[in-house]
A and B are shown apart, each in its own frame.
Chain A
């Protein structure tokens, strides 16, 4: 069956950062709030009644970071993010159709992972709704980090590609 429908590439705009520290081997990714997955920085919502399929995701780090080491602890566990949903009435929760309560492992940064995950509209949703990042775990390698960036706060971003039926609305 041919692929049909609307494809949207969503990403976080802010809210995922780390601070360069050339004195250590790695620093933690920091999640601030629960950044929305949006288009060009504007929250774009799925209409009530719409379902979607998550087709792929990626965590984007600034160039050269994460090449030497990217995990959550010394055991080498992969970094992860947690996907959630929120409607305009404030109802929210984790996207339980994905992994363990929305947890998705990221084996490597800056790499696009394909998936086919059907995401029905949350049962309790009121009106429009969107996806957001509600959890994050990861350490970014500082080996060979440029001295000129020491103590600079750098941004990372999470990207998602979804296929859905109805147009996104603001």
Chain B
């Protein structure tokens, strides 16, 4: 599968890395609890500068235990493992809802456009996950989970101008696809 997208040649790819850690029995007895560890919350994924558009194009997710063991360990009575992405300054989620990760993914394609509306903003991620100890994880004190994104930063003026293009002046105009700005029709002057 390949998602079609045409980026300007000046777009800069960046590989991000986020590592989340859970320790057996701490802070939750008899669990590997990622959720209630401050260090797993609001980690910086990538810093954003204003006027650029950031395209999350690829996702990798894994952990220090085998995938089958990870799945077997999921305490679904509490929740499924999930990643929550948001921007720091506006504190607004960049996905509509938390993204569940119940398996390891390698080069999962996606296209999510995140505008750098404000200077010195950043994309942040929180990992929520509670794992049980299963036979294969006896003896393991710490489990780490890894998230890597491939993010393109686009600061090309023409491209970003079209992305930020405000359609209010043009009735019924479509906007370039994007997570934060979707199709809008100026109802006030329509017809």
Binding site for B on A (CB under 8 A): 1, 3-6, 47-53, 116, 118, 120-121, 163-166
Interface residues of chain A: helix, strand, loop or mixed (majority)? loop
CB-CB under 8 A for A1 and B66, given A49-B30, A165-B140, A166-B25: yes
A48 to B24, CA, bound (A): 11
Q: State the total of A-B contacts with C-beta under 8 angstroms.
A: 46
A47 to B66, CA, bound (A): 26
CB-CB under 8 A for A4 and B135, given A48-B29, A165-B24: no
CB < 8 Å neighbour of A49 from B25, B69, B138: B25
Q: Which residue of A lies closest to B31 (CB)?
A: A49
Interface string of B13-49 (1 = CB under 8 A from A): 0000000000011000110000000000000000000
Interface string of B117-148 (1 = CB under 8 A from A): 00000000000000001111011110000000
**Within 8 Å CB of B141, what residues of A?**
5, 165-166
CB of A1 within 8 A of CB of B139, answer: no
A130 to B121, CA, bound (A): 53
Besides A51-B133, A53-B135, 9 more A-B contacts (Cβ < 8 Å) are: A1-B66, A4-B140, A5-B140, A6-B139, A53-B138, A116-B135, A118-B138, A163-B139, A165-B139
A118 to B139, CA, bound (A): 11
A118 to B132, CA, bound (A): 13
CB of A5 within 8 A of CB of B134, answer: no
**Within 8 Å CB of A50, what residues of B?**
25
**Within 8 Å CB of A163, what residues of B?**
138-139
Interface residues of chain B: helix, strand, loop or mixed (majority)? loop
CB of B65 within 8 A of CB of A52, answer: no
**Within 8 Å CB of A3, what residues of B?**
139
A151 to B129, CA, bound (A): 62
**Within 8 Å CB of B65, what residues of A?**
1
| Smallest beta-carbon distance B180→chain A, Å | 42
Interface string of B63-77 (1 = CB under 8 A from A): 001100100000000
| Smallest beta-carbon distance B57→chain A, Å | 32
**Within 8 Å CB of B69, what residues of A?**
1
Q: Which residue of A lies closest to B26 (CB)?
A: A49
